[in-house]
Amino acid sequence: MTSAELLPAAVLKRKAVVYIRQSTQAQVQTNLESQRRQYELVDVARQRGFRDIEVIDDDLGRSASGMVARPGFERLVAWLCAGRLALCCASTPPGSLVTAATGTICSNSAAWSRRE
């Protein structure tokens, strides 16, 4: 990536988060390629020029059905709402990459409005 493609210094001083999640323990155990690709999003943030990168993987094996707590998602939403993040990377079905502060990090709009 050339210096012309890097984000402004003020943006790069803020935190970047890579949110990693798979819905079931079976997915965690069998979809290792998906996990590997999600963890590689750290490299995407680094290539964009971020130095303060945090991985949130607390929610591996936790469904977004609303029936179980997702502490990682709660932390992510709190940071987003507080304006502390410059970048959020998440892998969303069917494998599309979201790199936006308030992009599609929920499987549905109801989850976002409930902040689940």
**96 included as an active-site residue:** no
Contact 76, 39 (CB under 8 A): no
How much is the pLDDT for 26? 93
> DSSP code of 69?
-
Which residues, given as ranges, of the chain have pLDDT below 70? Answer: 1-6, 91-116
Contact 87, 16 (CB under 8 A): yes
Instruction: Determine the structural domain holding residue 86 and report its residue range.
Output: 3-110
How much is the pLDDT for 29? 94
Between the CA of residue 1 and those of 7, 15, 76, 97, what are the distances in Å?
Answer: 11, 19, 27, 18
Q: How many domains are there within the chain?
A: 1
Single pTM value for the model: 0.73
CATH of the domain at 15: 3.40.50
Whether 31 is covered by a domain: the verdict is yes
- Candidate list 3, 23, 34, 63, residue with the active-site label: 23
Query: Within 10 Å of residue 77's Cβ, how many Cβ atoms?
Result: 19
Whether 42 is covered by a domain: the verdict is yes
Cross-strand pairs, 97:
91
